[in-house]
Amino acid sequence: MKCLKRNYYNGQDFWNEKTKYKRIEYPINDEIIKRAEDILSIKFPQSLIDLMKIQNGGEINYRYFILPSGVTGSIHSIEPIHFEKDDISILSSLELLKEVDGLSKELIVLWTDFHCWLVLDYRNRKDNPPILYIEEDFSASSNETTDWEYFKIADTFEEFLKKLFR
């Protein structure tokens, strides 16, 4: 059996510009980023800001990473930063987290399908947060409660980027 070589993100072609799942594109600049940080009471990692200035969210080319257990995890996109009420954005984190039981409101959601979450973890600091992958523990959840498993993927967003592959 042939083992496929992982192609790790190397600073190029992060965003999938050819996606067939186009979302509304929102322009971004330093003023929008600062306003978002003020609303969320956090400081975005500079490496995330740099990516968002290339393209403000969307489908990504490097969607896989290895969980601490050795299992491959994946995400498909990163939410944009914008202030529209009718579309999900990174600023929707609080509303998204209110829809589920047991997740801290100090997490900033980069991506979710509501069973799995990729978040910036601001519970213990307001800048340079670790990256967590959180997934529903179906074996422990019930109709009344949802249990979650937390996996620290990286100490920083920049470190997380180095772990992404396709």
Q: How far is CA 36 from CA 30, 57, 61, 81, 97, in A?
A: 10, 14, 25, 7, 17
pTM of the predicted structure, to 2 decimals: 0.90
Per-residue model confidence as pLDDT tens digits over 132-166:
999 988 776 666 777 899 999 999 999 999 999 99
Residue 71 has pLDDT above 80, yes or no: yes
**Rounded Cα–Cα distance for residues 54 and 60 (Å):** 12
Per-residue model confidence as pLDDT tens digits over 9-34:
999 999 998 877 766 778 899 999 99
